[in-house]
Structure 1
Amino acid sequence: MAQPLRSASPDELKELAQDVRARYEELKAKNLALDLTRGKPSTEQLDFAQELLSLPGDEVKASDGSDCRNYGNLKGIPDIRSLWAEVLGLPMELVYAQDSSSLNIMFDLISWSFQFGNNDSPRPWKDEEKVRWICPVPGYDRHFTITEQFGVEMVTVPLTEDGPDMDQVRELARDPQVKGMWCVPVFGNPTGITFSEEVCRELASMEAGAPDFRIVWDNAYAVHTLTDEFPPVYNVIRMAEEAGNPNRFWFMSSTSKITFAGAGVAFFASSPENLAWYSSIAGVRGIGPNKINQLAHARYFGSAEGVRAVMRKHAGSLAPKFQRVLDILEERLGGYEIATWTKPQGGYFISLDVVDGTAARVVQLAKDAGIALTGAGSSFPLHKDPNDRNIRLAPSLPPEEEIATAMDGVATCVLLAAVEKLGA
């Protein structure tokens, strides 16, 4: 077991620095071209859904008798709505099935709130003096990019093992300029944490200064387990209604990273009033979603248990890759006390914290050695990690042997940046 780096003697540190620099030069000499930047499914995972390309077949009527080839039905067909509502533990009437991207729905909801105001807004958000937004960190970069696009002031709060720091969230939410909050409540991106029931209830019941305050509840990874176990998906819509805040949650889900990117089904669940407001604008924007694709997905999955069966296949593909990353981090960095990392039970990422002030250096060292990592700070608003410590690792896409090579290289870069920081 390696000793803590900060307790090493000058001679020990010098010797380690020489070894690490030699190892880094060997790494660069390999002329690698490896990519751990985005959480994309592997070819093996995409092959699981190949059957979709032959569905729905010749029978194209939904269970309500409607012809899926035709216009209409903004809510989506009941076949997929009822199936996914069971997956999420929600009533079907509160779940709309849309086209492929839940990010598109989130962008629309915020865009329309700025342009028109939502159903609880005293005025459009564009007419507010300032719009502020709560951003748990490390978080999902694509969320932050949306609020950045609208010039929103993003205020960060740290994540605990159970969810966001609720003392800070409660205090911020009292500000009437704070209009919303981003959340990835199950197997979060990039930390992999899952919000506790207590945190979910607190978010549903806390006081909010803005009458049109909204929590974007992005359950993108609700069924993306790395084991055989699926965490509970809490019905926060009902929790909020019981607490007297029925319109608080905009609840998202999708088949992204389950079937095909850009050709899946996204879901928006919320209160009846929120859904009516959404429909009043979405019905102007378009006449209805791709119901043929919705029917194909309904037949592919068959049931909520069918979804879970598919996700167990994904877990079988992903879990060995994640374990390989964790084993290499422990083998190469354990004991030095220069890095910590999450050990997720689901999701698509591992969150790696390195010595403060060295994350950008690690990413650059890796790049120079032919290993592409997500940019330092990407898990923070405006890509600004105040401690320059967090790096998001995405092990899903490459083959396992490439992951091993890449992670061994990343560990070398973490060590090299650490010894540099210590002046060796």
Structure 2
Amino acid sequence: MEPMRQMGTAKLERLLAELRKEYEDFQSQKLTLDMSRGKPNSDQLDLAAGMLDTLSSARGAFSDSGIDCRNYGSLTGIPEAKKMMADMLGVEEDEVIIGGNSSLNLMFDTVSRALNLGVYGSDKPWCKEPEIKFLCPAPGYDRHFAICQHFGIKMITIPMGPEGPDMDLVEDYVNNDPAVKGIWCVPKYSNPTGVTYSKRTVERFSRLCPAARDFRIFWDNAYCIHSFKGEDEQLTDLFHLLKQRGKENMIFIFGSTSKISFAGAGLAAMAGSRANMRLTEQQLSIQTIGYDKICQLMHVRYFGSFQGMKEHMKKHAAILAPKFAAVEEILSRELDGLEIATWTDPTGGYFISLDTLENCAKRTVQLCAEAGVKLTGAGATFPYGIDPYDRNIRIAPSYPSVEELRKATELLCLCVKIASAEYYLTISI
């Protein structure tokens, strides 16, 4: 098929009629498929089923360090779990806190504490400022943006490119506007583009000179060991660079095992400078007596070490790789050469980012929904849910089976074609 932009009105109308007939055939199948969230499927969760057998009565609930994990205490985590998660996040054991099962919860609480209590070295809580702003690389993670919106923090969109956020804009805002208190980052296999920040981008982050002394980088390294194709992409160690420049207090690092072990019962961790972590521990001591140490012990016994976690992720890769390959194969087969869409080809993480023609994403998602395929809402990957060009769609291939994915992606491509044909007909009138 030739590019749609080269077709005349009559040819577009004939094409649209053919596409709508195909669409009616899909509707008649009464599909109920979901590609809206990056959830692991049951096969992935089953990989860690043996973890449930690690607390036999013979071994008991005592850690190797002698802690009775059934009891109170060990607010920042048992030593064995701190070691494993510190290795995963690239920090020292006294620079990490294990906190529950959700890194999103840790990020929410960290923003909340900053608003109400301030951060290390600050003169006052963020809530005492006349205005608070966060930089939001986009397309990005919708739940990051939801935290800001929940707390009334003004979001500033920073375009994402192949090396990460537009650092000219980041530097301009951070270095000159004292109202800018933070930036959200998913630095490796970013959600949803799959981009890993380049060495040059990370180095520019380390050279930031914030106008606000209480500015923080929220470094959500959610996919740090989530490669599924080829060599694992290497992310430059920002924390190390910041330490070299005496700026280690400028970053909060987050991660979890949510897509490594059990999505609803994994380990979450936050890390940062010793000063940041000491203050966080003091604040947490009022909030909780301690997190679930039984869960920490199960993870340590099952994986043994960070190396054990990395070996485990090879099993995840074997499940995920064929799914991403199926989506990419169909996107290429159905949309290549039409000049109506572009998409990413990630080597890790959980998402594919698809860009349609301008003003076609919402229509595409609507058509998919009406034929039984649920996608993340168009615009969700931007602050306030507003994609200024209405073109980005996040694809989450992890949860459906390969067969379901193929069917869903074929429908998605058909809907992109219909929305594009309708668009060209509209502007040609």
Per the normalisation by structure 2, the TM-score is 0.96
Q: Is the 8 A contact 1:157 1:164 kept in 2?
A: yes
Task: Classify the secondary structure of the residue corresponding to 2:249.
Answer: coil
Task: Classify the secondary structure of the residue corresponding to 1:253.
Answer: strand
Kindly provide the CA deviation profile for residues 352-391 of structure 1, in whole angstroms up to 9, marking residues without a partner as x.
0001001111111111111111100000111000000000
Which residue is equivalent to 1:81?
82
Which residue is equivalent to 1:342?
344
For 2:351 and 2:423, the matched residues in 1 are separated by: 26
CA-CA distance at 1:160 after TM superposition: 1.3
Which residue is equivalent to 2:11?
12
Which residue is equivalent to 1:367?
369
Task: Classify the secondary structure of the residue corresponding to 1:422.
Answer: helix
Which residue is equivalent to 2:143?
142
CA-CA distance at 1:258 after TM superposition: 1.2
The one-letter code of the counterpart of 2:194 is G
Which residue is equivalent to 1:384?
386
CA RMSD of aligned residues (A): 1.2
For 1:235 and 1:351, the matched residues in 2 are separated by: 25
Q: Is the 8 A contact 1:88 1:233 kept in 2?
A: no
When structure 1 is superposed on structure 2, of 18-27 and 105-114 the one drifting more is 18-27
1:42 aligns with 2:41: yes
For 1:143 and 1:312, the matched residues in 2 are separated by: 28
Q: Is the 8 A contact 1:204 1:236 kept in 2?
A: yes
CA-CA distance at 1:234 after TM superposition: 3.5
1:153-192 matched pairs, under 5 angstroms: 153-174=154-175, 175-192=177-194
1:18-417 matched pairs, under 5 angstroms: 18-58=17-57, 59=59, 60-174=61-175, 175-227=177-229, 229-417=231-419
Name the % identity.
44
CA-CA distance at 1:233 after TM superposition: 4.3
The one-letter code of the counterpart of 2:343 is W
For 2:82 and 2:231, the matched residues in 1 are separated by: 23
Kindly provide the CA deviation profile for residues 41-90 of structure 1, in whole angstroms up to 9, marking residues without a partner as x.
01100100101111233332223222212111111111122122223332
CA 1:109 to 1:36, structure 2 compared with 1: closer, same or farther past 3 Å?
same
Q: Is the 8 A contact 1:362 1:414 kept in 2?
A: yes
**Aligned residues between the structures:** 423
Q: Is the 8 A contact 1:74 1:289 kept in 2?
A: yes
Kindly provide the CA deviation profile for residues 272-324 of structure 1, in whole angstroms up to 9, marking residues without a partner as x.
11001111110110011111110110111112221111111001001101110
Task: Classify the secondary structure of the residue corresponding to 1:159.
Answer: strand
Task: Give the unaligned 5+ runs of structure 1.
Answer: none
Kindly provide the CA deviation profile for residues 100-142 of structure 1, in whole angstroms up to 9, marking residues without a partner as x.
0111111111101111111122211111100000000000000
CA-CA distance at 1:235 after TM superposition: 2.9
For 1:134 and 1:405, the matched residues in 2 are separated by: 37
The one-letter code of the counterpart of 1:14 is E
Task: Classify the secondary structure of the residue corresponding to 1:423.
Answer: helix
When structure 1 is superposed on structure 2, of 20-29 and 40-49 the one drifting more is 20-29
CA 1:295 to 1:229, structure 2 compared with 1: closer, same or farther past 3 Å?
farther
Per the normalisation by structure 1, the TM-score is 0.97
Q: Is the 8 A contact 1:228 1:312 kept in 2?
A: no
Task: Classify the secondary structure of the residue corresponding to 1:251.
Answer: strand
For 2:295 and 2:233, the matched residues in 1 are separated by: 28
For 2:115 and 2:89, the matched residues in 1 are separated by: 29
Kindly provide the CA deviation profile for residues 195-233 of structure 1, in whole angstroms up to 9, marking residues without a partner as x.
112211211221111000001000111111112533334
Task: Give the unaligned 5+ runs of structure 2.
Answer: none
Q: Is the 8 A contact 2:199 2:235 kept in 1?
A: no
Q: Is the 8 A contact 2:9 2:425 kept in 1?
A: no
For 1:88 and 1:110, the matched residues in 2 are separated by: 20
For 2:212 and 2:258, the matched residues in 1 are separated by: 32
